[in-house]
Amino acid sequence: MASLYESPKLLGEYLLLHYGGERELCHPALPVPASVTSVPFPVRCVQELLDPALLPSPPSEITALEVGCAVGASAFELARHCHRVEASDYSASFIAAAQRLRSKGHHSATRLLEGTITAQFEAIVPPEIDRTRVSFSVQDATSLPAGMGPFDVLLAANLICRLPDTEAFLSKLAVLVKPGGQLLLTTPFTWLEEYTPRERWIGGINADRRSEEELIRRLSGEFRLHRCRDLPFLIREHERKYQLGIALGTCWIRR
Ligand SMILES: C[S@@+](CC[C@H](N)C(=O)[O-])C[C@H]1O[C@@H](n2cnc3c(N)ncnc32)[C@H](O)[C@@H]1O
């Protein structure tokens, strides 16, 4: 399967989503609250869903896996709590950018103003984060190497509606999370046939089968729902065009 996330346009948009400040991201007339734009969405996924009180001790042994990490901001955020973070994505260009951010702490990026006019900005990992805790690799989340994990934390942000078989992916999560460990999932349930054949959508076809209830039903056997939050996110296409999504964020505890 070729990645649909290999264009310079998407690389710029995701570097902005992950590392952009309000100055780079926002138009003065943008009618979106600061709570959505002041902290990048991937950072909020960790801040709002991970429950640090439930992490095991000693901290030096806490491990995390992130799948579909894009350009890495949530993996770096996980490293505030977890000593070893394995992060992967199917896009080679996203992982190359994440690896550069890991080694240098910064990466110059391009944001579109209009047409072909662009401006540069610097994506920066917060300096207090120990970047050596994180490793990045190109991997297909639907065929992870056998014997991986289990981990104390697993994060998959806005990935499940980008997979060819969402149910198969969900059914493999339990073996990757330690008993008592945390599974963090976010998804706006944007079902599109270019990613997921219609017969594999877990919901969104009949009004009596909604995706949120189906997600909860499918995970509830092996996990207990601990937190459930709406997590808005803003993808800036150019100076005057944005996509506003509202992901459903959940934190699950492995039984
Ligand atoms: C909607 S983006 C979300 C990225 C990131 N988690 C975030 O919230 O900003 C979906 C991501 O999943 C990745 N992806 C798509 N299919 C994948 C697969 N089979 N295995 C791993 N990553 C995949 C894409 O390359 C992209 O980075």
Provide block-wise average pLDDT over 10 residues at a time, the chain (255 residues).
Answer: 82 98 95 95 98 95 98 98 98 98 97 97 98 98 94 98 97 97 98 97 96 98 98 98 98 98
Q: Has residue 130 been placed in a domain? A: yes
Distance of CA 247 to the CA centre of its chain: 11
Q: Degrees (nearest 5) of the Cα angle 48, 22, 131?
A: 60
Pick from 162, 169, 243, 248 the residue to mutate for probing ligand 1's pocket: most ligand atoms within 8 Å of its CB.
Answer: 162
Structure tokens at 57: 């001790």
By most ligand atoms within 8 Å of CB, the mutation choice from 45, 47, 78, 89 for ligand 1 is 89
Report the distance separating Cα 163 and Cα 174, nearest Å.
Answer: 18
Number of domains in the chain: 1
Residues 253, 171: Cα–Cα separation, whole Å? 15
Are 27 and 117 in contact, with CB atoms under 8 Å apart? no
Does residue 134 lie within any of the structural domains? yes
| pLDDT in the model for residue 4 | 80
**CATH number for 228:** 3.40.50.150
Pocket of ligand 1 (CB under 6 A): 3, 5, 17, 42, 67-70, 89-91, 94, 140-142, 157-159, 162-163
Confirm whether 69 is domain-assigned: yes
For residue 1, tell me if it sits in a domain.
Answer: no
For tokens 């047409």, the residue is 115
Domain range for residue 179? Answer: 8-254
Nearest ligand 1 atom to the CA of 69 is 6
**Coil, strand or helix: which one is 151?**
strand
The reply to whether 2 falls in a domain is: no
3, part of any domain = no
Is this model's pTM higher than 0.95 or not?
yes
Is the residue at 92 inside a domain?
yes
How far from each other are the two terminal CA atoms of the chain, in whole angstroms? 33
Give a yes or no: residue 96 inside a domain: yes
